[in-house]
Amino acid sequence: MNNEIQKYGWVVISLWLIATMFGFIMIFTLGLLLPSIAEELNLSPGMQGILGSSAFLGQAMLAIPMAWWTSRFNPVAVITSTIVLGALLLVLQGWSPSFAVLLIGRFAFGIALVTMEPPGAKLIYQWFPINKILFVNAIQNAVFGFLMAIGVMLTPVLLEALNDWRLLLYLAGAAYGFIAIVWVLLGRQNKNPLENGKTEEENAKFYPATPIIKVLLHKDLVLTCIGFAAAAVVFSSFNTFFPTLANDKGISLGWSGIILAVNFITGGILGLIMSRYFGKMPYANLVMVILIIVMIVSYTLITLTDNRATLLILVIFTGISGAYFPILYTEAFKLKGVTINRIPIAVATVMAAFGLGLFIGPLITGFLEQTTGDLQLAMIVAAQFGVLLLPAGILIRFTNDPPELEN
């Protein structure tokens, strides 16, 4: 695969990444909008938890079916339609006259967003050799961190300037529409031969597609999914409810935005650095276990303080623990014995598990707060779900080797 092809591949994947990350920004910044939305729509803590979880429920329920259905279509066209649908759904959320309409809008937005992942994975495989996919995913994670940081820092500023969460969602819908236009102009498939010298269509003929049930029951994929779901509970609980907890402790929304931004940036940078060396490390599993322990401890301790300096130190550690993401995510691209044409299914399965965790996190936290009256305790309980990431860190053999395909 020559350098000129890979250069345009970076253009395509960068645009796809911007579209995907913009969608995630609109999901993950709900915590910053939630105080205004809850006040206007008179939402209880339980209803806030449901709202925070709704987009992720759509992801968890339909990621695999949508991956199977959309895999037969042009990935560029699938991404185009999902961006356009996402833009319309953001406008719907801004217009929402009630909790029910807002809930439906966020649920459907989650489905649209997760539908972009499998065709994106297919494009990554078309444009880059397998030994570079971990690096590509690490770039994705780092860019995600920086874009999310910008998003969570800008959201309080824009909300204060506009003084209207609805107008903010209208503007987001317009911006997403602009991204759709750019994608239509520049998004492309790569029809050139893949790393083994065959085109994607030739590979599909030469290697019979792995049975879906074999993909879903693959040991490494099961471990990856359990780990992602658990980590997502921790992350989504913190991201959704930390601004509310901080507000209760007298910390401004602007400071909450800074804390969330540092969390995203730190993990992205470390994940990018580790992607160059992780598969070659003699103690890769030990490093992964250390990251998981850091996650559990730091997400627990950060709920216990209102000191700004201590918060900044602790959030650096929560961010560092996020370096697991591109490493574990890349496992879906190189499952032993799984054919190339089943990679979108594997990626969608991981995203479904991640969506399930993102759904459960705010839901558990919101209802625990409503039951106990203690948001801090609810967030501490959610942080302990990180323990379920340990089996993946211990049992998966992390390498940069290409997958072994079976004829």
Residue (of 62, 57, 72, 71) closest to 27 by Cα position: 57
Task: State pLDDT tens for residues 141-179.
Answer: 677 777 777 877 788 888 888 888 899 999 999 999 999
HSE-up (13 A, CA, CB side) for residue 309: 0
Asked whether residue 403 is assigned to any structural domain, the reply reads no
Which residue is it, tokens 């239509």?
184
Residue (of 354, 401, 400) closest to 55 by Cα position: 354
Measure the CA–CA gap between 126 and 191, rounded to whole angstroms. Answer: 8
Query: In this structure, what CATH number is given to the domain that contains residue 149?
Result: 1.20.1250.20
Prediction pTM value: 0.73
Domain, as residue range, for 45 = 3-395
Task: State pLDDT tens for residues 217-248.
Answer: 888 899 999 999 999 999 888 888 888 888 88
> Residue 195: pLDDT band by 50, 70, 90 thresholds?
very low
Asked whether residue 376 is assigned to any structural domain, the reply reads yes
Task: State pLDDT tens for residues 87-127.
Answer: 999 999 989 888 899 999 989 998 888 888 778 878 887 77
What is the DSSP secondary structure assignment for residue 129, as one 8-state letter?
-
Asked whether residue 269 is assigned to any structural domain, the reply reads yes
Total number of domains constituting the chain = 1
Asked whether residue 356 is assigned to any structural domain, the reply reads yes
Asked whether residue 406 is assigned to any structural domain, the reply reads no
Asked whether residue 95 is assigned to any structural domain, the reply reads yes
Residue 373 has a CB neighbour count (10 Å cut-off) of 10
Residue 100, CA distances (Å) to 48, 97, 333, 368 in order = 12, 8, 38, 22
Asked whether residue 350 is assigned to any structural domain, the reply reads yes
Measure the CA–CA gap between 346 and 224, rounded to whole angstroms. Answer: 10
Asked whether residue 193 is assigned to any structural domain, the reply reads yes
